[in-house]
Amino acid sequence: MPYRAPLRDFAFLLDQIVGFDQVRATERFTEATPETTQAILTEAARLAEEIMAPLQRVGDLHPARLENGVVRTPPGFAEAFGAIAEGGWLGLAASPDHGGMGLPQTLATAVNDMMASACLALQLAPLMAQGQIEALEHHASAEIKALYLPKLVSGEWLGTMNLTEPHAGSDVGALRTKAEPNEDGSYAITGQKIFISWADNDFTENVCHLVLARLPDGGEGTRGISLFMVPKFIPDATGNPGTRNSLRVISLEHKLGLHGSPTAVMEYDRATGWLVGAPHKGMAAMFTMMNNARVGVGVQGIGVAEGAYQQALAYALDRRQGKTPQGGSGAIIAHADVRRMLAQIKAEIFAIRAIALANSTAIDMASATGFEEWAARAALLTPITKAHGTDIGVETAGMGIQIHGGMGFIEETGAAQYLRDVRVTTIYEGTNGIQAMDLVGRKMMDGGEAAFRLLQEIEDGAEAARAQLPDLAEPVWQAAESLREATEWLVAQEMPDRFAGATCYLRAFARVLGAHYHLKAAQTGEDARRALAQVFITRILPDHAACLAALRAGAEGLYALSDEDLAA
């Protein structure tokens, strides 16, 4: 079954669920009219369906490779990226000051969702550029902005982020890459970075690396790290690629999935770079790119879930096996357990897609209004979007294989590729465990105020729905109240106990949020929306109770097992 963008769901979510009308009402985003929104999503759908989706299997069967120091990308990737660049998709949410469209991040999220469904390996390239564009807009000097942003927005140049080193994964503060001042105000960057997505290609004029490194007077840990722009080719006096910089791709990783996307080991040997942001404040600048990428990576999980669902649905409608209790065509979609898996996947996708779009709406409202409450809402939802979005991507891709039965384990069907490709998303941009710890730690430094505001909205919404949908509204209200009580317990605990239950708490929060959005959808009166909401609220929402029970177990039981006990 060819991929088909879920335009109806996007329109429904934007118009009736996540409050996108508030974004349109701001002075900054007045151009995001319903007509413009429809045109953007329709054209993005065409790009995803017709240009990117045919490359899904191509990238898997013809991986990116390194030949004599040159990265070669899969057949068709160069042309498809050219179409992405020509359409202005890299600069959809970028400032018009440097050639961007200046449209809401919420629309960029919907577009990224479609592109990730179509071909995740290729979609990762524009996603990296989008994050770098935002980081430069917020932190770079006027000179760097003027030189790099127009080229990144146009897609003539591509951007990357260089954090991880062989000895320092999530512990970025342990990095050893150094930056030494040059007499002309630039810096000499020396070190090695690993896991660099789209570190090079054979279709853009230049590749712009944002590299974390330590100045000679930089202290230990993350507080002593600075951020540098280190291009593959040093721009000449006219702003065009000039001298080759002293950096290179040492090797490409042999990965479980995402074969079409080159993931490199990079070496910098006194490469010329320029400071981005203030000295020793590199993590603050890089976090701008990372937070952009965290939402984007969560959306990748959603996109893969959609692609896996569409393929599994097509197989279930066509495959005939055994006698089905409901009769009909005899296809396996009539078997109760197959139908359960399909219904669960569809309900999960709607819930997490709503969370991601609500997250992006909060980001847009924060940037358009400057109101702290919107910024706090966006910050609270970001780790949930990233972690739960990617978890759902992995879980639903696995169910997609299950629906295929034995054929799902056969590579030729393409079902397994979705699971292989999406698996890394739970790891990069901060593992999902780190996202959960961020939620219960940094995001609760306000005593849970942002969380309580959101929970109050959920309870108020459930109260308002009681008269119309009492069977659905009551369990949502009860779940929100349980989560409120758990949050009150959480903020009173020390960090070890918070961290021990962090993953469970994040999942519980996502379950309650998903139920809230499904309940809103059911209130529109559409029978299909109500039926799907019932699937989520009766079959999936109860998971939150088990998660909250695990949360309250604390850390003691985990550390009661010694290292020797675990090894026995």
Angle at CA 56, nearest 5°, toward 54 and 62?
105
Report whether 392 contacts 349 (CB < 8 A). yes
What distance in Å separates the CA atoms of residue 381 and residue 148, rounded to the nearest whole number?
A: 30
Q: In the Cβ-directed half-sphere of 243, how many Cα atoms lie within 13 Å?
A: 7
Greatest Cα-to-Cα distance within the chain, rounded to the nearest angstrom? 80
What is the Cβ-side half-sphere exposure of residue 456, based on CA atoms within 13 angstroms?
7
Output the CA torsion sign for 449, 453, 459, 460.
positive
What is the three-class DSSP state of 208? strand
Give the pair of three-digit tokens for residue 164.
Answer: 């991880």
For 129-164, give the DSSP string: HHHHHHHHHHHS-HHHHHHHHHHHHHTSEEEEEE--
- Give the three-class secondary structure for 125: helix
Find the angle CA(92)-CA(396)-CA(264) to the nearest 5 degrees.
55
Strand, helix or coil for residue 266: strand
Q: Is 429 a catalytic residue?
A: yes
Number of neighbours of residue 440 by Cβ within 10 angstroms: 28
d(CA 393, CA 116): 11
Question: Is the Cβ–Cβ distance between 502 and 439 less than 8 Å?
Answer: yes
Residues 6+ away with beta carbon under 8 Å from 198: 124, 125, 128, 158, 160, 207, 261, 262
Beta carbons of 153 and 100 less than 8 angstroms apart? yes
Q: Which of 512, 509, 497 lies closest to 552, judged by CA?
A: 497
Counting every residue written for the chain, the total comes to 568
Spatial distance between the Cα atoms of 13 and 350, rounded to a whole number of angstroms: 9
Q: Tell me 538's DSSP state.
A: I
CB neighbour class for 68 (10 Å; exposed up to 12, middle 13-18, buried from 19): exposed
Per-residue CA distances from 442 to 163, 445, 447, 502, 548 (Å): 21, 5, 10, 12, 20
Instruction: Give the C-alpha separation, 354 to 480, whole Å.
Output: 17
Q: Are 268 and 230 in contact (CB under 8 A)?
A: yes
> Which residue bears the tokens 């990428």?
293
- Nearest in space to 46 (alpha carbons), one of 101, 2, 9, 106: 2
For residue 200, give both structure tokens. 């090079």
Q: Which of 134, 165, 306, 429 is catalytic?
A: 429
Residues serving a catalytic function are 429
